């Protein structure tokens, strides 16, 4: 009897209707969808691929202002966020308020996932601006250290609001990798040499050329038909001489024209010192077209610390690799210990723009540490200029074009 009662009781319980699940409201569904989309997009952006815009002319003719690129994080290995607490899709500044888009109270050490390749010479690389650790907010397009050299430390810090930024929140730059870790770089009369071997510019590199015509009467429409942008790539020097900014291949075609008297590459004279050039030592008498040799630091390479090496590697040791560096008599102290040499913990790279006379690059601020590397530029997904109607603005021939 007891067994029958328990069985009947169990059956009655099993036949009771189950409580229906509470249905989500429309607002909750939208909230969940937005949260999922933000998380998914952030994961893709951080670990796989990110969009990037070309803001300056430093990479012409490879990349034009108005090109929109996809940058791969997979090729060199995705960098684990070093400043993990940040507002999604904002790099370092909030778009409306202008305030910081990140919290720098939590910082993680530099780590990178395994990549499918190492950085190679001639790769087009996106990286964080090495000298972007300190910024004058009112003039963010100006290099802080260049401002200090021009105006003085006190004047800059009095006139502007100066702040510091973590590595992964520094401005994004895009250049071509000219030299990798361990390479010895130099440049003579506008021609780069890597490990003593001259490396002529490829078809994407641009230099300045002085073109002298046989007559002052020149039909410049011909140059437009060749692909030149008048007033931008061709400017007057005298009545019959003009400065052309173009690739060597294009200038070879100009030289063939019967009304052209001569074509000469326009470079700075050796010995004409530019004080802003890396390592900011006028006694070297280096300029944008004549400099070097410079050895790029490599992980595991040991350099002797002396008056010759320190101008080149002091920032790497102190800022990029986080050591306390002090001068002590005729020698140096690293983290309080006397040292006459230093072994590098990271690889470094030498980056330059293809438009050689219109690029602020490693010639001005030196080496790019590996922890600053963001990714490899893959292809252009959209490109437009500022002239004409909407459809004429789009550079159709550049859409989905690979970057070489």
Residue 19 has pLDDT above 80, yes or no: no
State the average pLDDT for the chain. 89
204 closest CA partner among 65, 349, 59: 59
pLDDT in tens, 223-276: 998 988 888 899 999 989 999 999 999 999 999 999 999 999 999 999 998 988
Give yes or no for a contact between 67 and 380, defined as CB atoms under 8 angstroms apart: yes
Dist. CA 40–CA 385, nearest whole Å:
31
Give yes or no for a contact between 301 and 343, defined as CB atoms under 8 angstroms apart: yes
Question: What is the mean predicted confidence (pLDDT) over 294-304?
Answer: 97
Residue 147 has pLDDT above 70, yes or no: yes
Dist. CA 82–CA 99, nearest whole Å:
19
Question: What is the mean predicted confidence (pLDDT) over 177-186?
Answer: 97
Confidence band, pLDDT 50/70/90 cuts, at residue 65: confident
Residues 6+ apart with CB under 8 A from 175: 58, 59, 124, 125, 127, 351, 352, 353, 359, 361, 362
Give yes or no for a contact between 325 and 332, defined as CB atoms under 8 angstroms apart: yes
Dist. CA 179–CA 194, nearest whole Å:
7
Question: What is the mean predicted confidence (pLDDT) over 175-195?
Answer: 96
pLDDT in tens, 341-380: 999 999 999 999 999 999 999 999 999 999 999 999 999 9
Residues 6+ apart with CB under 8 A from 59: 124, 174, 175, 176, 353, 354, 355, 359
pLDDT in tens, 316-329: 999 999 999 999 88
Residues 6+ apart with CB under 8 A from 228: 234, 244, 246, 250
For the chain, how far is it from start to end, CA to CA, in angstroms? 87
Ordered by where they begin, the domains of the chain are 207-265 (3.30.70), 302-343 (no CATH)
Q: What is the pLDDT of residue 14?
A: 52
């Amino acid at each position: 009897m007891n067994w029958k009662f328990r069985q009947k009781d169990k059956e009655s319980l099993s036949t009771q209707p189950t409580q229906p699940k509470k249905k989500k409201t429309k607002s909750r569904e939208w909230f969940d969808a937005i949260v999922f989309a933000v998380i998914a997009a952030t994961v893709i952006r951080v670990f796989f691929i990110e969009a990037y815009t070309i803001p300056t002319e430093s990479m012409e003719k490879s990349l034009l202002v108005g090109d929109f690129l996809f940058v791969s994080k997979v090729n060199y290995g995705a960098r684990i966020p070093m400043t993990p607490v940040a507002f999604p899709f904002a790099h370092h500044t909030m778009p409306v308020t202008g305030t910081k888009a990140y919290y720098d109270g939590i910082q993680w050490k530099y780590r990178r996932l395994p990549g499918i390749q190492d950085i190679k010479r001639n790769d087009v690389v996106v990286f964080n601006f090495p000298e972007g650790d300190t910024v004058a907010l009112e003039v963010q397009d100006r290099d802080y250290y260049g401002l200090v050299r021009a105006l003085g430390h006190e004047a800059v810090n009095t006139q502007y609001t100066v702040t510091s930024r973590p590595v992964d929140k520094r401005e994004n730059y895009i250049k071509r990798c000219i030299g990798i870790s361990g390479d010895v770089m130099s440049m003579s009369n506008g021609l780069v040499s890597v490990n003593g071997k001259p490396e002529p510019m490829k078809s994407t590199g641009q230099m300045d050329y002085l073109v002298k015509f046989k007559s002052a009467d020149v039909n410049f429409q011909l140059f437009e038909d060749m692909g030149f942008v008048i007033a931008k790539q061709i400017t007057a020097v005298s009545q019959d001489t003009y400065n052309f900014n173009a690739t060597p291949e294009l200038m070879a075609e100009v030289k063939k024209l019967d009304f052209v008297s001569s074509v000469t590459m326009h470079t700075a004279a050796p010995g004409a010192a530019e004080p802003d050039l890396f390592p900011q030592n006028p006694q070297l008498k280096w300029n944008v077209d004549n400099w070097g040799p410079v050895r790029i630091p490599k992980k595991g390479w040991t350099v002797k610390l002396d008056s010759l090496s320190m101008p080149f590697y002091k920032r790497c040791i102190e800022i990029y690799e986080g050591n306390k560096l002090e001068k002590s008599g005729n020698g140096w102290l690293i983290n309080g210990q006397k040292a006459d040499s230093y072994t590098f913990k990271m690889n470094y790279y030498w980056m330059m723009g293809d438009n050689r006379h219109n690029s602020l690059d490693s010639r001005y601020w030196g080496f790019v540490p590996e922890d600053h590397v963001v990714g490899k530029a893959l292809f252009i997904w959209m490109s437009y200029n500022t002239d004409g109607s909407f459809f004429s603005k789009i550079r159709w021939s550049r859409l989905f074009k690979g970057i070489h």
